[in-house]
Copies of this chain bind each other. A is one copy, B any other.
Amino acid sequence: MSGPRRRDSARPRRSLTAPRAQASWRRVVNRYAPFELLSADEVEAIHRTSLRVLQELGIEVLSPAARTLFKSAGAEVDEATSLVRIAPELVLSLVAKAPAAFRLVPRNPLRQLVIGGRHVAFGLVAGPPNVHDRIRGRRAGNYADYCDFVRLAHHFNAIHLLGNQVCAPVELPANSRHLDTYLANLVYSDLAFHCSAIGAGRVEDAVRMAALAQGTTVEVLATRPAVMTVININSPRRLDDAMAEGLMAMARHGQPVVVTPFTLMGAMAPVTLSAALAQQNAEALFGIALAQLVRPGTPVMYGAFTSNVDLRSGAPAFGTPEHTQANIASGQLARRYRLPYRCSNASASNAADAQGAQETQMALWGALLGHANLVYHAAGWQEGGLTASFEKLVLDVELLEAMIAFLAPPTVDAETLAFDAIARVPPGGHHFGDAHTLARYEHAFHSPRLADWRPYEAWREAGAEDATVRATGVWQRALAEYEMPPLDVSAREALEDYVVRRRIEIGSGEP
């Protein structure tokens, strides 16, 4: 006998009970040591190369206001090319002003997050133009699906915050749909959320609406951040005008900025991991420095989105071994500057299938071994970010719940070593009915929501549904069981009034 066999005779014959209650919402702490993919010397070599990039090559900054800020601080600004070159001492002194950790406090203070240190938070997928589920197929993003995703994120306790726009509600006017999505975020969930930072206006609306939801002022929120955003560097080495304006508006309000270069190796960055990381590092530090120029102490995150493309087709790839390595090494870089660290567990699969599961988990292990403090796009990301998938969201929640359980180290003490329990069960016996087992019956093991561990015959007779098919039932049940979090009537009215007023001010037209 070289492998295990099920011991049918010894096994109790109870059938599966109803789906178990999920673990309560809680902040997750990664108590293990970070994984050191690179040596300290290698981290320094990447660091030095990135400083050369900033000093010798510079970043193209398309916002005149941002260029002015850098110029006043002593950076070299070439107005003809819009290139900003910045000396190592300056960039490092600015980066040093950023806090090592901060709290993000949504309208439900029990759902506040610690961003930094050993904490890790999982975010809902953000940004796809499309949505998909097995029943209704693939379709353009829309407000009804948007609200359902927010409900699901609120329902599943493995999700800690909302990303910026789980999908684009394309039937709504483009210049005011951010108001509708903020409203859904604040009404259908009480989690923290990411706002849009394409221009200062969308930031202003986010901060004001967050304040209205909390019955407070934007000034108070400046001391107790409530909304976060991702600022993408348009890699290589370009900071867009709207992104720069959004970043500066966030900083003025004291709200956290996640600076994330999008450095796909072979496309927007060199084909080698070392160089892509050097470019990512330069671009991330540059954006972080800008935030500190606007308002020293602005909470920021070091964002990493370094993966690779398929060089044969140019298609972006995620969850590759290179992506896993990048997620780990980026954490080493973020820690070098004592900055909170954000990355992602993306996948390029077109379906919520085994490829999606493999790629997402490969990236997620990189994120957690790299001590990410925020795993953005953690649940529901499909097709390299082109689709938010209901079934993938469930598969991802299943994975996140398992990882949360893994991150709780086992206890080793006399009670868990349980010499007496070992002694009580005779050779060849079993522990099913032992007192040590029965006392821990409910919570001994992580209980997955999607895994089907029934014998093959029972599974086949019940329809032979694979995990993706079962996931449909899970999100359908979750929506049925969803409970809207309480919100003061006055706050809700204030929010709705704000949206109506701002729509008129913006003069939003057709989508």
Contact = CB atoms under 8 A, between A and B. Distances in A.
B350 A418 contact: no
Nearest to A2: B164
Interface stretch (A67-75, A100-108, A460-468, A486-494): A460-468
A411 interface: yes
Contact of A454 (B16, B262, B350): B350
A406 interface: yes
Nearest to A4: B262
Contact of A6 (B322, B386, B405, B456): B386
A428 B270 contact: no
Given A4-B316, A321-B405, A357-B358, A452 B419 contact: no
Contacts of A229: 2
Nearest to A130: B456
- Place the interface of chain A in its size category: 35 or more
Interface string A425-443: 1111111101011001100
A141 to B, nearest CB: 12
B444 A406 contact: no
A227 to B, nearest CB: 12
A467 B274 contact: no
A453 B315 contact: yes
Nearest to A352: B354
Interface string A264-280: 11111111111100110
Contact of A421 (B270, B314, B359): B270
Given A38-B410, A430-B267, A14 B358 contact: no
Contact of A445 (B266, B362, B452): B266
Interface stretch (A44-52, A148-156, A212-220): A44-52
A506 interface: no
A474 to B, nearest CB: 12
A56 B236 contact: no
Given A3-B128, A196-B2, A15 B313 contact: yes
A69 to B, nearest CB: 18
A321 to B, nearest CB: 4
A379 interface: no
Contacts of A451: 317, 348-349, 355, 359
Contacts of A126: 2-3
Interface in A123-167: 126-128, 138, 163-165
Given A358-B398, A464-B351, A466-B355, A456 B386 contact: yes
Contacts of A57: 422-423
Contact of A16 (B313, B320, B450): B313
A422 B271 contact: no
A278 B422 contact: yes
A316 B6 contact: yes
A258 to B, nearest CB: 9
A7 interface: yes
A177 interface: no
Contacts of A5: 127, 385
7 contacts: A4-B127, A4-B232, A45-B417, A60-B427, A238-B427, A322-B445, A351-B467
